[in-house]
Structure 1
Amino acid sequence: MTAEASMPAWQGRKWQLLTQEASLSAQSIGIGLSYLRKANSDHPGLYYGGFFNYSIGLERLMKLTLLVDERIREGKFPESTDFKKAYGHDLAKLLLAIHRVRQDVDPVDLRWEYPAGPLAGIAIDNLADFAKFDRYHGLDTLTAAPKVKDIDPIARWYKEVGGPILQGRPVRYLEVDSARVEFLNVAIGSAAIMRGVGEDGSVVETIGGAYLKSRDSEYIAKHGTFLCAAIARYVADVLLALFWKGCAAGVDELPVFSEFFAQLMNSDSTLKGRKSFYIR
């Protein structure tokens, strides 16, 4: 008998690897959400850093969930080559697998639903494309690589995800802003030169226009980040439910996953109010 075989399962190599994967995915998601929450046209790197870290973290979280599910059902982890070929970096395909796994856990152990409405699916499509190839958009465009998309990932997110978010704003905010824009253009516009480009590629040439872009960026950042957080919360909820299913089945090498994803397991209002999702 080896030294590892004689020790408790929670001290073994598999427990350690599962712990590392949970920590990695939680940290990546937290960094990605924090960047997306602060992103604006003045700091495009925060968008790319947000998409990059969040998509990697979400992919790892979903793959970890599927690994744990198969370990419980089949008594072993899947073969690496088959698992990689089955999913690759396809977040949309992985999410469909998570939906199926969720149907087989005890509903009592589940707390969070997948975000309602079509916008979550649009966000996943954006993020899935980013994970597969859009993360190289800048390099591919500069080098004239084949199959490069015409639209930048930031502009696409701003249009496809941000557009519906902006359309859902209460009218009262727009009425107040109209008066503020007029004041800014009159009070400051004649004494300032404004040159800028918004996330959608539009040119900003007035102080009032800059204010409107900043306002829109902040609103999209708040609600777009919440949408991403709610998707990650949904997946983490399935993993946490699998922990209890595994315990009941005698699978004792599973770490307590709730310790890694506590920052996500909060109400909608709490997640919307957050500007940082780092794990400290």
Structure 2
Amino acid sequence: MVFSATWFLLEQEGLLAQACLCNGLTALRRANLGDKKGLFYSAFFELSIGFERTLKLILILDHMARNQLDPPDSKTVEDYGHKLRVLFDSAKAICATRGVPALDAFQPDSLPNAILGFLDDFAHPGGRYSNINKLTGHKHQAMADPLVKWGEIASRIMNEHATPGQRKRAELNGQLASAAFGDAAASLISDMNQQQMDVARLFTRASELDSAARHAIYALVTLIAALREVIDSLCDSAWKASPAGRSGMPDVPDMKEFFQFAWADRPYVMRKRMWP
């Protein structure tokens, strides 16, 4: 079968979004204190880009479905910039218009929305260039340090979403480390807010960040799975609008295939370490 140039461009964009989301989830699962702190930045970069491209695919597919597969002009998409909150609100508006309930469960105070809002802030120059901006005295310094902010989100997750067993395990890890090392060891590793920690607190905090990452990843996977439903619905509408494509060749791939890695089975997600 011969496919159109539009088909291949959408395929490539789907692969890009898939790669960014999977790389981001994997980096977040591996990130922690010490020399693994840099992986938090990798996760934030990849996830912010992955969600931006996924949400922009929804805008593009909706426009194509309403206009006999004619894509929107570049300005329509570019005007959204990296604003994930605005893009998500636009995706919800598309769902409301089309009667697609996939995003109804994601209320403003939900954990997925909180993380998406954090990624929105990170995508702003004041977020992703936070360290350089502070070093150089740049005007974009009003936003909170991304690592500090993520540390706060991790603490919220431990308080509101972690199980009693996970909280107890984190405390026990600190107690065991303290008993094992006593006064024979000192920690030079700082917390997410650059505060020094003793050995007991180091092991407790590392365990907390690990547990929080699992819950955060599950929250993000549920969001990706919901966005996959939206994309599937839009592809179906596009195929119905022009079954043969504008040039007699298929113009729209089965875009949900790029997001099949996101199955929101909690036990599976909580133990998974690498994506896809």
Query: Structure 1 length normalisation: TM-score?
Result: 0.86
Task: Note if contact 1:114-1:234 (Cα within 8 Å) is conserved in structure 2.
Answer: no
Task: Note if contact 2:82-2:124 (Cα within 8 Å) is conserved in structure 1.
Answer: yes
Distance 2:51 2:171 in 1: 39
Task: Note if contact 2:235-2:252 (Cα within 8 Å) is conserved in structure 1.
Answer: yes
Counterpart of 1:80?
A: 74
Counterpart of 1:155?
A: 148
Match of 1:36 among 9, 12, 28: 28
Match of 1:184 among 177, 181, 190: 177
Match of 1:231 among 214, 223, 227: 223
Counterpart of 1:260?
A: 258
Q: How big is the shift at 1:176?
A: 5.2
For residues 9-20 of structure 1, what are the structure 2 equivalents within 5 Å?
11-20=3-12
**1:78/1:179 CA distance change after superposition, 3 Å:** closer
Deviations 1:180-200 (A, max 9, x none): 533432331222222210123
**1:195/1:102 CA distance change after superposition, 3 Å:** same
Task: Note if contact 1:166-1:216 (Cα within 8 Å) is conserved in structure 2.
Answer: yes
For residues 32-71 of structure 1, what are the structure 2 equivalents within 5 Å?
32-42=24-34, 43-71=36-64
Deviations 1:11-69 (A, max 9, x none): 11111101111111111111111101111122121111111011101101110111010
Letter in 2 for 1:53: E
Distance 2:261 2:81 in 1: 27
Counterpart of 2:91?
A: 98
Distance 1:51 1:180 in 2: 27
Q: Is structure 2 residue 130 aligned with structure 1 residue 137?
A: yes
Q: How big is the shift at 1:72?
A: 0.7
Please, which runs of 5 or more residues in structure 1 have no aligned partner? 1-7
Count of residue pairs brought into register by the alignment: 265
SS at the partner of 2:256?
A: helix
Task: Note if contact 1:113-1:234 (Cα within 8 Å) is conserved in structure 2.
Answer: no
Letter in 2 for 1:258: K
Deviations 1:83-119 (A, max 9, x none): 312x111000000011112234465xx7676446432
Match of 2:158 among 142, 166, 170: 166
Letter in 2 for 1:229: V
Distance 1:33 1:173 in 2: 20
Distance 2:98 2:141 in 1: 41
Task: Note if contact 1:106-1:241 (Cα within 8 Å) is conserved in structure 2.
Answer: no
Counterpart of 2:267?
A: 269
Counterpart of 1:199?
A: 192
